[in-house]
Amino acid sequence: MELDSLYQEVILDHYKHPLNKGLSAPYGAQVHHVNPSCGDEVTLNVTAEDGVIKSITWDGVGCSISQASVSIASDLLTNKSFAEADAILNEFTELMQSKGTKEGDPDVLDDAVALAGVSKFPARIKCALLGWMAFKDAAVRINTTVKGD
Amino acid sequence: MAFNVANLRKDFPIFERTIRDGKKLVYLDSGATSQKPLSVIEAESDFYKFHNAAVHRGAHQLAEEATDAYEGARLKVAKFLGAHEDEIVFTKGATESLNLIAYAMGNAMPGTRFALTSKDKIVVTEMEHHANLIPWQQLAARTGAQLSWFEVTPDGRLDLSNINSVITENTKVVALTHQSNVLGTIIPLKAIVARAHEVGAVVVLDACQSAPHMPIDVKELDVDFLVFSGHKALGPTGVGVLWSSELDDLPPFLYGGSMIETVTMTSATWAPAPRKFEAGVPNMAQAVGLGAAVDYLTNIGMSNVHEHEAVLTKYLIEKLLQVPDLKIVGPTDLASRGGTVSFTVGEIHPHDLGQYVDSQGVAVRTGHHCAWPLTRKLGVPATTRASLYLYNDESDCDALFDAILGAQKYFA
CATH number of the structural domain spanning residue B176: 3.40.640.10
Domain boundary among B272, B299, B326: B299
In the residue annotation, B208 being an active-site residue is answered as no
B23-41: average pLDDT: 98
Q: Are B155 and B331 in contact (CB under 8 A)?
A: yes
- 3-class SS letters over chain A: CHHHHHCCHHHHHHHHCCCCECCCCCCCEEEEEEECCCCEEEEEEEEEECCEEEEEEEEEECCHHHHHHHHHHHHHHCCCEHHHHHHHHHHHHHHHCCCCCCCCCHHHHHHHHHHHHHHHCHHHHHHHHHHHHHHHHHHHHHHHHHHHC
**Backbone phi and psi for residue B352, each to the nearest 5 degrees, phi listed first:** -70, -40
B30-43: average pLDDT: 98
Same domain, B331 and B397: yes
Query: Do you know the residue count of chain B?
Result: 412
Q: State the Cα–Cα distance between residues B370 and B388, nearest whole angstrom.
A: 18
Residue of A14, A63, A126 to mutate for B, most B C-beta atoms under 10 A: A63
CA distance A129 to chain B (A): 15
CA distance B365 to chain A (A): 10
Q: Give the E-state strand segments of B245-334 in sequence order.
A: 260-263, 268-270, 326-329
Q: Residue B350 domain-assigned?
A: yes
Task: Supply the Cα-derived Rg of chain A in whole angstroms.
Answer: 15
Q: Residue B385 domain-assigned?
A: yes
Same domain, B179 and B80: yes
Task: Supply the Cα-derived Rg of chain B in whole angstroms.
Answer: 22
Closest CA to B277 of B260, B262, B263: B260
Query: Looking at the partner chain, which of B21, B356, B366 has a beta carbon nearest the beta carbon of A38?
Result: B366
Give the model confidence (pLDDT) of B112-160 as tens digits.
Answer: 999 999 999 999 999 999 999 999 999 999 999 999 999 999 999 999 9
**Is B367 within 8 Å of A39 when comparing Cβ atoms?**
yes
Domain boundary among B255, B270, B299: B299
Same domain, B123 and B249: yes
Is B2 a residue whose pLDDT tops 80? no
Is B1 a residue whose pLDDT tops 80? no
Same domain, B85 and B122: yes
CA distance B346 to chain A (A): 13
Beta carbons within 10 angstroms of residue B261's beta carbon:
11
**Adjacent-strand bridge partners of A119:** none
Same domain, B306 and B295: no
Same domain, B295 and B305: no
Q: Which of B89, B189, B204, B370 is catalytic?
A: B370
Q: Residue B180 domain-assigned?
A: yes
Same domain, B79 and B179: yes
Q: Are B87 and B244 in contact (CB under 8 A)?
A: yes
Q: Which residues of B touch A1 (CB under 8 A)?
A: 359
Q: Give the E-state strand segments of B56-136 in sequence order.
A: 88-91, 121-125
Same domain, B329 and B275: no
Same domain, B356 and B214: no
Same domain, B22 and B127: no
Q: Residue B132 domain-assigned?
A: yes
**Is B381 within 8 Å of A3 when comparing Cβ atoms?**
no
Query: Looking at the partner chain, which of B350, B356, B366 has a beta carbon nearest the beta carbon of A3?
Result: B356
Residue of A38, A42, A121 to mutate for B, most B C-beta atoms under 10 A: A38
B62: Cα separation from own chain's centroid: 32
Q: What is the residue-averaged pLDDT of chain B?
A: 97
CA distance A80 to chain B (A): 31
**Is B381 within 8 Å of A61 when comparing Cβ atoms?**
yes
B65-82: average pLDDT: 98
Q: How many domains does chain B have?
A: 2
State the pLDDT at residue A37: 80
- Segment among A39-48, B43-52, B225-234 with least mean pLDDT: A39-48
Query: Looking at the partner chain, which of A12, A39, A63 has a beta carbon nearest the beta carbon of B372?
Result: A39
* CATH for B337: 3.90.1150.10
Q: Are B250 and B114 in contact (CB under 8 A)?
A: yes
Same domain, B286 and B372: no
pLDDT tens for each residue of chain A, 149 residues long: 689 989 999 999 999 999 999 999 888 999 999 998 878 999 999 999 999 999 999 999 999 999 999 999 999 999 999 999 999 999 999 999 999 999 999 999 999 999 999 999 999 999 999 999 999 999 999 988 754 44
State the pLDDT at residue A25: 87
**Backbone phi and psi for residue B173, each to the nearest 5 degrees, phi listed first:** -135, 135
CA distance B396 to chain A (A): 21
**Is A2 within 8 Å of B20 when comparing Cβ atoms?**
yes
Query: Looking at the partner chain, which of A3, A12, A38 has a beta carbon nearest the beta carbon of B351?
Result: A38
Domain boundary among B284, B299, B314: B299
Q: Residue B259 domain-assigned?
A: yes
Beta carbons within 10 angstroms of residue B49's beta carbon:
10
State the pLDDT at residue A149: 42
Query: Looking at the partner chain, which of A1, A2, A63 has a beta carbon nearest the beta carbon of B349?
Result: A63
Q: Residue B225 domain-assigned?
A: yes
Instruction: List residues of chain B with CB under 8 Å from any CB of chain A.
Output: 20-21, 349-352, 355-356, 359, 366-368, 372, 375, 381-382, 410-411
Class of A2-148 in CATH: alpha beta
Q: Residue B34 domain-assigned?
A: no
State the pLDDT at residue A148: 42
| Residue range of the domain that includes B362 | 5-29+301-410
Same domain, B102 and B235: yes
Beta carbons within 10 angstroms of residue B10's beta carbon:
13
Residue of B342, B351, B356 to mutate for A, most A C-beta atoms under 10 A: B351
State the pLDDT at residue A146: 55
